[in-house]
Structure 1
Amino acid sequence: MTAHKRREVSTQPSSSPSPPDISKQSRPGHFSMVRNFYIADIITLMNGVCGIMSVFGSMRYLLSSDIADLYSAMYFMPFGLFFDFMDGRVARWRNNSSLVGQELDSLADLISFGVAPASLGFAVGMRTYLDTVVLTYFVCCGIARLARFNATVASQPKDASGKISYFEGTPIPTSLSIVGLLAYFVMNDQYLDTLPGQLVELAPTWELHPLVLIYALSGTLMISRTLRIPKP
């Protein structure tokens, strides 16, 4: 009886194991995006950090009127340029890059060399309505220039290392030339009410600092399609 019972038990079909939960296996872990960053991507993020710290420096100056905050806003932008220079070198050295890294680079450049210089211009005294229109135009030119670069970089001629041969329009980091000029004026106590060129009244309630036009020129050169700058 016992043996027969054992045979009956042994002849019963064994329950098959339940299939693995594929959704759980394919579900990404916490911070998976950050863990997949390359070293070059981290360097690019440091460019963005410098840019936003510069913006905060300009904002602090508007609250405190402490010249140290204004200098802080200026100093962070060249550090951003250093990181912008290094991320491409590191990516080519390690032979790894990604579309995410390309987008990170553009977004960081927009902050460090677009929004931050415009914020600095406002902080040093270009604060009329027309001034802000020109500063907004400058930032929008930076956005358009970076978007065009991302859309056309795949079709542009490159050397053996994969580096493009030239820039179409001036690169957005050239806005640091404006930052250098403003730094010179600040060091010589030519800012706020003593900005070079003073204030021009174009019409009643419509005033403009002529100095802000250098932002308009810089933005226009960035979106030029005929100006080609050899890439070093």
Structure 2
Amino acid sequence: MVQQNTKGDGKKKLASKNDINLAQANPGHFSLVRNFYVADIITLMNGVCGVQSVLSSMKYLVSHDVGDLYRAMLFMPFGLFFDFMDGRVARWRKDSSLLGQELDSLADLISFGVAPAALAFAIGMRTYLDTIVLTYFVSCGIARLARYNASVALAPKDATGKVSYFEGTPIPTSLSLVALLAYFVHNDLYMESLPGNIIKVFNGLDLHPLVLVYAVSGTLMISKTLRIPKP
């Protein structure tokens, strides 16, 4: 699944009754976990991959072991796999809820928003202006996911009830940035060897030009006029 949209479409149809039932049933301890559908567990695995990626990037800052960077990058495609599978399982089992839709967005934010930004910081984009750009990128991801959740019910749909197009690029497209960084790391072009010379923007404020690809990616995510046909 390219974005949480696939599972979200199916969940909107059955959400009302399912969520009322979830709210009324099993009020005891751990009732939330007992009410998870199989698809929700798969969605959580997406979030687990995102957290593991962030922690691996953080570990590199201490260990300076390039293997930690590779692990950080590897967890993100695994997150995409779980993001793809959860919608398929939800439709196969006809199990869906608004809870699952929100889980999907939160997991996507970690795996395809926070994790790529943490990786960029780990490999050398660490100036103050770099961190501002990376924060902008994550904020765009938050806005993108929130806009989808708020507007999916009104979005144009095809004959099967699926959304016809995405407004702005889906947040998993950030994996293209991860692929670019993986190429640099593989060729020892990271830390002080990152391509591009540091730009002196203001006195004492530097910017690595490579971080601007994150700014572009974030801007495309929140675009209102850019419409991506849904595969």
Q: TM-score, normalised by structure 2?
A: 0.87
CA shift in 2, pair 1:123/1:26, >3 Å:
closer
Q: Indicate the residue corresponding to 1:57 in structure 2.
A: 56
Equivalent in the alignment of 2:189: 190
Runs of 4+ off more than 4 Å: none
Q: Deviations over 1:53-92 (max 9, x none)?
A: 0000000000110001011100000000000011111111
The reply to whether residue 111 of structure 1 matches residue 116 of structure 2 is: no
Give 1:48's aligned residue. Answer: 47
Q: Residue type matched to 1:167 in 2?
A: F
Paired AA for residue 61 in structure 2: L
Tell me by how many angstroms 1:165 deviates: 1.4
Q: Is the 8 A contact 1:168 1:227 kept in 2?
A: yes
Greater length-normalized contact order (CA 8 Å, ≥ 6 residues apart): 2
State how far apart, in whole Å, the 2-side matches of 1:27 and 1:185 are: 51
Cα-Cα RMSD:
1.3
Give the counterpart letter for 2:43 in structure 1.
Answer: T
Aligned to 2:89: 90
AA of the residue aligned to 2:182: A
**Which residue in the other structure is 2:129 paired with?**
130
**2:88 aligned counterpart, secondary structure:** helix
One-letter identity of the residue aligned with 2:64: S
TM-aligned CA deviation for residue 188 of structure 1: 0.4
Counterpart of 1:143? Answer: 142
**Cα shift readout 1:113-170 (whole Å, capped 9, x = no counterpart):** 0000000000000000000000000000000000000000111122344321111100
State the percentage of identical aligned residues: 76
Distance in 1, matches of 2:163 and 2:104, equals 15
- Displacement, 1:46? 0.2
Deviations along 1:80-114, one digit per CA (max 9) or x if unpaired, are: 00000111111112222110000000000000000
Say whether the 8 Å CA contact 1:126–1:212 is kept in structure 2: yes
State how far apart, in whole Å, the 2-side matches of 1:71 and 1:27 are.
42
Are residues 1:222 and 2:211 paired?
no
Residue in structure 1 matched with residue 27 of structure 2 by the alignment: 28
| CA distances 1:174-212 after superposition (whole Å, capped 9, x unpaired) | 000000000000000000001111311122211000000
Which residue of the partner structure matches residue 158 of structure 1?
Answer: 157
3-state secondary structure, aligned to 1:155? coil
SS of the counterpart of 1:154? coil
Count of residues in correspondence between the two structures: 208
One-letter amino acid of the counterpart of residue 214, structure 2: Y
Residue 201 of structure 1 aligns to a residue in which SS? Answer: strand
Q: Distance in 2 between matches of 1:91 and 1:26?
A: 21
1:27 is displaced (CA, Å) by: 6.8
- Residue 95 of structure 2 aligns to a residue in which SS? coil
Normalised TM-score (structure 1): 0.87
2-structure distance, mates of 1:135, 1:161: 37
